[in-house]
Amino acid sequence: MPNPPYLRFFPYEDPYDHQREAMETIGEALSGGRDVLFEGACGTGKTLAALVPALEYAREANKTVVITTNVHQQTRQFIEEARAITRQESIQAVVFKGKLDMCHIDVGYEECQALRDTTRELAETEQERAELAETERTLLDESRAREGANADQAAEGRNAVMEELDELDDTLEELQEQATCEYYYRNVTEETDAFYEWLFADVRTPEEIYEYAHNAGLCGYELLKEGMEGVDLVVCNYHHVLDPMIREQFFRWLGRDPEDVVVVFDEAHNIEDAARDHATRTLTESTLESALSELESVEDRRTTSAENVIEAFYTALTSTYDDALAFGERETIGDEWYDLSITNETGRDELTLSFLDAYTGAGIHNDLDRSLDLGNSLDRSYQQEYKNGETRTRKECRILQSASFIDDWLRDSDHNEMYPVVSVRRDGGNDSVYGRSELYTCIPRQVTEPLFEELHASVLMSATLRPFDVLSDVLGITGYVGDDDEQDGPVTMAYGAQFPEERRRTYAVDTPALFASRREEHDIQRKITGVLEDAIEFTPGNVLCFFPSYREAERYQALIDVDATLYLDEPGASVEERKREFTGSSNGVFFTSLWGTLTEGVSFDGDDARTVVVVGVPYPRLDDRMEAVQSAYSMAFDGNDNDSDDPGWEYAVEVPTVRKTRQALGRVVRSPEDFGARLLVDERYTMRARREMQKYSVVETFPPEERTETIDIEPEKLRFGLLNFYTDMDAWVGAPPTP
């Protein structure tokens, strides 16, 4: 039986049976324009299972495949897979990174645009002058060679050209005095074929592109943009497709309409939070102050309207957070944004009510329209001033930023899917605090639903996507309308762990629930500490321990008394450096937070870590924002075709929390030859909790096959279970410890 055509893009000998099945399913879905939700445990080969059929379909249908992630480590894997594919089947692949990471002169987007415009105009004017100079020389030769009227005619033509040259010289002199980019100048004036030959000879990283271009005196970012049209594959970050404005430009660089693009999302359980970040809008007190200062220097009839709106909002913001701060609370404010409650029983929030009360103009919407007109006019003038070299940097229009946000606030702040927030933080080293208004997006589908509707198709893949119906609801993936106009949902498929079950052991350790309210209880701390010490003593190698927070990780690192090297994670530290230190040990214990960066995209293969421990159920901090998200989900999905009594709690809290736990468990047992133990230390993970703790139990949120594999165990028996398991694996060097 001949191999299916998509296997020409498969870079290794033979796919696994489940991988071949997944490729077939994905290929058929893409041909029908359907989205795919693909959950696959570690080792299922998700990347190639999605990428191979996508490339085959795109090649036949003249489309481009975009594979995207928000996990840096995964980008490296994509590059390696793409390089392997190019050695099997010729493809043009580009790894795209943002301008800020690739700029040789370190300027922002607006400055870059102005520099590009001036530089291109300079180069085009120089080219035009060179062509005219050649014409002038030709006419001079003709006037000398001719006689009589013909010579006079050639001389007249030459004089006209000379006048044009004088005008161009004046223009050139002006342009040469303006700011330009020497790197981009070489892009538009020199041959760049060698760059593209080098670029497409392999799959180049952004760092390699930057170095090559820098050495050649070229702008690699702009060359990359210009060379992306019609390529087979692009590797990029989430924001290139989730941000609507960036996406529009990005697809234009690809030379593709959205319906000609297939997007593969890796670690797709992160799309919700990433889209929420892109949809959220903010305006700080300092921006409002800058806008008011800007208005003082503007002579325009529209300034009165802008002052009416911006000054009222500024007054409302400062008075709102002043009123919301309790006695002594101001002194506790630090460098991080601190949310204040601005809810009001009347329906509109306190900031909106204060704003409407402070506004003294004749008509707020008319004043807003005039403010936006003024802001847009000023923004265009700032662009021209920078382009003309009148300013050294491209000035930001704070009037436009403020008016745009205030307009959004009035329109959206009482929307069910938005949550209005006022936050404060300390002003650097000063004793004062300043405020920020924020439109926080509770449900991100306003960003994602239009994306999935306009794309040809997408593949969302992760080790932790289920439950699929929740993901589809939250992101607005409703399927497609076929020829018969019947709505159809996305194609879903899930593959559990493909490695031998006997080489892994999963225990739910029946310790008291680590509720946030009970974390200070010494009896609970003593029992959890005992479990951790047993897990460390009866593991022949490194142990990776996850906790609900960095604070809890630090607490238990201090309580543990074992003969091992202890490593404590800290927020903001280098992932690679932390992993290198830990895996360099043969008897190390790493303490970190489930909400840190080590739960995703970081593998602990073989001896890197043998046992992974998840302590507690890592619910996010249930603050006002989370309550707003829960409320929005409850209103949006109540009555949907689901079995949940409380979709707000399930969608906003429980499902993301269990996904986070499952991600942590997946850090060990990364190949068929690997082995290890996974420990869930909290009674809420046990089957007993399903019967006795009801709503506090989380076991039902795990996929069925994972529930079946998990063994409930009493804390005092854990050491025997681990000893027997690792003895069966022949893992002990020398005599095992005595239980």
DSSP string, 583-609: HT-SSEEEEEETTSSTTSS----GGG-
- What integer is the mean pLDDT of 321-337? 91
SS3 324: helix
Q: In terms of Cα–Cα distance, which of 676, 271, 660, 657 is closest to 497?
A: 676
State pLDDT tens for residues 649-675. 988 999 999 999 999 999 998 888 899
Residue 347, C-beta contacts closer than 8 angstroms, at least 6 positions apart: 414
pLDDT tens by residue, 15-43: 888 999 999 999 999 999 999 999 998 77
Give the pLDDT confidence score for residue 376 in this predicted structure. 97
Q: What is the mean pLDDT of residues 598-614?
A: 88
Quote the pLDDT of residue 146: 65
What pTM value is reported for the model? 0.87
How large is the average pLDDT for residues 297-307?
Answer: 95
pLDDT above 80 (res 739): yes
Residue with tokens 């030709």: 138
Torsion angle, CA of 113/119/123/128, rounded to 10 degrees?
80
User: For residue 280, is pLDDT > 50?
Assistant: yes
User: In this predicted structure, what is the pLDDT of residue 282?
Assistant: 96
Give residue 423's pLDDT band: very low, low, confident or very high (50, 70, 90): very high
Strand pairing class (418-426; 338-340):
antiparallel
pLDDT for the residue 31? 95
Q: How confident is the model at residue 483 (pLDDT cuts 50, 70, 90)?
A: very low
Query: pLDDT per residue over 140-161, tens digit each?
Result: 777 667 655 666 676 777 777 7
Q: Is the pLDDT of residue 578 over 90?
A: no
pLDDT value for 68: 95
The answer, yes or no, to whether residue 401 has pLDDT greater than 80, is yes
Residue that wins the pLDDT comparison between 543 and 469:
543
- Residue 380 to residue 397: CA distance in whole angstroms: 9
* The pLDDT of residue 484 is above 50: no
> How is residue 589 written in tokens?
């214990």
pLDDT for position 481? 41
The dihedral through the CA atoms of 724, 726, 730, 735 has a sign that is negative
170: left (phi over 0), alpha (psi -120 to 50) or beta: alpha
CA gap 625, 339 in Å, rounded: 9
Give the chain's end-to-end CA distance (angstroms, integer).
56
- In this predicted structure, the answer to whether residue 100 has a pLDDT above a threshold of 90 is no
pLDDT bin (cut points 50, 70, 90) of residue 499 is: confident
Split at pLDDT 50, 70, 90, the class of 128 is: confident
623-634 average pLDDT score: 90
729: helix, strand or coil: coil
pLDDT score of 485: 45
Closest by Cα among 378, 617, 461, 589 to 53:
461
pLDDT of residue 729: 95
Find the DSSP H helices in 413-467. 445-454
Helix or strand run (H / E) with residue 422: strand 418-426
Residue entry with tokens 């010490």? 533
Question: Mean pLDDT for the chain?
Answer: 90
Residue among 474, 419, 440, 444 at smallest CA distance from 647: 474
Which tokens is 439 given? 């439109």
| Gap between the Cα atoms of 115 and 276, Å rounded | 33
User: CA–CA separation, 419 vs 408, rounded Å?
Assistant: 12
Distance CA 595, CA 663 (A): 11
Asked whether residue 643 carries a pLDDT value surpassing 80, the answer given is: no
Distance separating alpha carbons of residues 422 and 439, to the nearest angstrom: 9
d(CA 99, CA 110): 11
pLDDT category of residue 299 using cuts at 50, 70 and 90: very high
Which residues on neighbouring strands pair with residue 436, listed in sequence order?
A: 284, 423
Q: What percentage of the chain reaches a pLDDT higher than 90?
A: 64
Q: What's residue 224's pLDDT?
A: 94
- The pLDDT value recorded for residue 173 is 85
Give the rounded percent of residues in the chain with a pLDDT score beyond 70.
96
Which of 73-77, 143-147, 361-365, 612-616 shows the lowest per-residue confidence on average (mean pLDDT)?
Answer: 143-147
